[in-house]
Amino acid sequence: MTTRFDAIIIGTGQAGPFLAERLAAAGQKVAIVERKLFGGTCVNTGCTPTKTMVASAHAAYMARKAADFGVTIAGDVSVDMRRVKARKDAISETHKVGVEKWLKQMENCAVYEGHARFESSRLVRVGSETITADQIFINVGGRALVPPIPGLEHVPYLTNSSMMDIDFVPEHLIVVGGSYVGLEFGQMFRRFGSKVTIIEKGPRLIQREDEDVSAAIQEILEGEGIQLRLNAECIGFSNHGGEIGAQLNCAGGPNEVTGTHLLLAVGRRPNTDDLGLDKARVELDKRGYIAVDDQLRTNVPGIWALGDCNGRGAFTHTSFNDFEIVAANLLDNDPRRVSDRIPAYGLYIDPPLGRVGLTEDEVRKNGRPALVGRRPMTKVSRAVEKGEPRGFMKIVVDANTREILGAAILGVGGDEAIHSILDVMYAKAPYTVIQRAVHIHPTVSELIPTMLGELQPLTDRARVRAPEAAASVQLA
């Protein structure tokens, strides 16, 4: 027997539960389906647990540096990974249970536990049950990409999900992938006490960032003893009686790295391959993401896709914003759109990177006249006082409109301070609004107006000023 609803939501990530609440509150009969962990990636294997572990790693780092602050710690600093994991588990569990209880107690909302598959554009099967609705919202997220590298079948490997079970300090962690996930895990495990080697096939880390940002991050990580192998493509793995060997196609350095544990952090793939989308005739793009329009409608009327599975964002805040866009259009007569969103994200190495808008390189490529401002963290009192002068901040503005085009703050508090820039970008106000604002002393944010008062034309010469950032890193 098929049960009829007004709306079906597949997945309980960062969009689905909020949409369920809005639809149910509007009097609609809602079904929400979850196949595994309530709350999805962010809560269980992504943002929450990793940032909890980053905090433990920061505590270890600060404990080792305690003497610099005049604080004496008797004996060696050591890390009890079982307690690190227990702290992480407790925080994640609270979120997961919170989402589950919230949904199960929600009026007008039925929770189905199991894997959902379309049988047609209006019919979804969950185990032995079938449910139908005229509106279906897909919020199935993604998972770690496991590339078909020869020999992978002979070695144990970890992904961001299985890393959550680690309750010991690996002797030597090999991380394949020098982007966001790989760098966060790499630095935290180095601080926990592992030897860490990060293998990246490109010439620099996080290649979508500007070269000076990549260079400063490289110095931060190398300064903490992380081995980086750049321009090194992993072409095979072998099992050396318990040790893992990663064979590299590289120009310089040994062509094999051996370690005790292997983390694959080479990207994500959407959970769209086992959803019966062909039966619903929902179109995918060539990377396997669900194709959507600016208001997140798929090609099939009555089916929407939200969150990581639509390829329009890869973050918790973008998935939540997808919920806001769909709810505004359906319930509030407010035509919100994805294209209203300004790209913004953090990289949670320590110190963190806060990023908004275009990179300097992107501005340069699109050729519009621009101004750029820079300031090393060595010239930010708050950073110096905190004993963390690594990194730098920079901002690019349109020379004609005076609107801010993009910014990066790599440094202590960078993930928070970036928001004053983001908000002025949303206001479409000229940069002079921040330049003339009186910010609180001493903060990282107080130097944003100063930086904006020292803008220079964006030329090729300005680009080679990255050594400022390097100098600040060496001081740490």
Ligand X SMILES: Cc1cc2nc3c(=O)[nH]c(=O)nc-3n(C[C@H](O)[C@H](O)[C@H](O)COP(=O)(O)OP(=O)(O)OC[C@H]3O[C@@H](n4cnc5c(N)ncnc54)[C@H](O)[C@@H]3O)c2cc1C
Shortest distance, CB of residue 52 to ligand X, whole angstroms?
11
Task: Kindly calculate the radius of gyration of the chain based on its CA atoms and give it in whole angstroms.
Answer: 24
Catalytic amino acids? 441
* Closer to ligand X by Cβ: residue 132 or 450: 132
* Closer to ligand X by Cβ: residue 143 or 463: 143
Determine the 3-state secondary structure of 431 from DSSP: coil
Shortest distance, CB of residue 155 to ligand X, whole angstroms?
21
Given strand 116-118, what is the order of strands in its sheet? 2-4, 129-132, 123-126, 116-118
Cα–Cα distance for residue pair 255/235, rounded to 1 Å: 10
Cα–Cα distance for residue pair 333/279, rounded to 1 Å: 31
* Closer to ligand X by Cβ: residue 15 or 266: 15
Own/partner pairs, 282-289, CB within 8 angstroms, 24+ separation: 282/118, 282/121, 282/138, 285/311, 287/311
**258 in Cβ contact with 278 (< 8 Å):** no
Cα–Cα distance for residue pair 475/387, rounded to 1 Å: 10
* Closer to ligand X by Cβ: residue 200 or 375: 200
Nearest to 8 by CA among 243, 336, 322, 302: 302
* Closer to ligand X by Cβ: residue 40 or 389: 40
**132 in Cβ contact with 124 (< 8 Å):** yes
Shortest distance, CB of residue 34 to ligand X, whole angstroms?
5
Nearest to 213 by CA among 351, 62, 51: 351
Q: How many CB atoms lie within 10 A of CB 28?
A: 18
Q: Which amino acid is at 153?
A: E
* Closer to ligand X by Cβ: residue 10 or 353: 10
224, exposed or middle or buried, with CB in 10 Å at 0-12, 13-18, 19+?
middle
* Closer to ligand X by Cβ: residue 81 or 116: 116
Shortest distance, CB of residue 219 to ligand X, whole angstroms?
22
Shortest distance, CB of residue 19 to ligand X, whole angstroms?
11
Q: Is 442 left (phi over 0), alpha (psi -120 to 50) or beta?
A: beta
Shortest distance, CB of residue 58 to ligand X, whole angstroms?
15
Omega of the bond prior to 270 within 30 degrees of 0, cis?
no
Omega of the bond prior to 351 within 30 degrees of 0, cis?
yes
Q: Which residue's C-beta sits nearest to ligand X?
A: 141
Shortest distance, CB of residue 99 to ligand X, whole angstroms?
9
Shortest distance, CB of residue 265 to ligand X, whole angstroms?
8
* Closer to ligand X by Cβ: residue 131 or 228: 131
Rule CB under 6 A: which residues touch ligand X? 10-15, 33-37, 40-42, 46-47, 50-51, 115-116, 139-142, 160, 181, 271, 275, 307-309, 314-317, 319, 348
Residues recorded for the chain: 476
* Closer to ligand X by Cβ: residue 163 or 380: 163
DSSP string across 188-218: HHHHHT-EEEEE-SSSSSSTTS-HHHHHHHH
Cα–Cα distance for residue pair 424/436, rounded to 1 Å: 12
DSSP string across 161-189: TGGGG--S--SEEEEE--SHHHHHHHHHH
Shortest distance, CB of residue 319 to ligand X, whole angstroms?
4
